[in-house]
């Protein structure tokens, strides 16, 4: 499943997307890893499907995706976890790029975050690649 195929449903090693910031990164993973999670008491847990205890309590699961990305700010490999709002925009970008025989791996991604908590909004754009990525990272992640 590539970015064009995303099935969109209603700190440390991670790139942080906090209100009032803009981050730029290069997605390295070909296929985003999808998981369905529940949030309860500010903790996440995986949804186990039809017999899920959290679903039975009325706690609706949410889709989350994780990719490996090159953080342009500090030049390091990190994970990026995102939900539907960013996934929808990444899918649209991937579809536009495909019209020109490009992929999401041919550009950098810039995310501007505004607001906080339930009022958070993300504006996702693609920009020309800014700089190189170490060859050993390219060899491991970027599909050719």
pTM: 0.82
CA nearest neighbour of 58 among 69, 67, 47, 68: 47
Whole-number Å distance between alpha carbons of 25 and 2: 18
pLDDT by 10s per residue, the chain, length 144: 565 555 444 356 888 888 888 999 999 988 899 999 888 887 888 898 878 888 888 888 999 999 999 999 999 999 999 999 999 999 999 999 999 999 999 999 999 999 877 788 999 999 999 988 988 888 887 655
Domain ranges of the chain: 3-34+66-139
Asked if 24 and 110 touch (Cβ cutoff 8 Å), the reply is: yes
């Amino acid at each position: 499943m590539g970015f064009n195929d995303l099935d969109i449903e209603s700190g440390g090693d991670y790139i942080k997307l906090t209100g009032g910031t803009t981050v730029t990164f290069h997605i390295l993973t070909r296929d985003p890893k999808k998981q369905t999670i529940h949030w309860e008491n500010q903790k996440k847990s995986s949804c186990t499907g039809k017999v899920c205890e959290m679903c039975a309590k009325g706690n609706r699961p949410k889709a989350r995706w994780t990719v490996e990305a090159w953080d342009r700010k500090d030049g390091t490999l990190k994970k990026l976890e995102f939900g539907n709002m960013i996934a929808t925009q990444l899918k649209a970008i991937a579809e536009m790029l495909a019209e020109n025989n490009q992929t999401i791996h041919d550009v950098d991604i810039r995310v501007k975050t505004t607001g906080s908590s339930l009022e958070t909004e993300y504006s996702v754009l693609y920009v020309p690649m800014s700089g190189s990525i170490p060859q050993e990272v390219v060899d491991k992640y970027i599909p050719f």
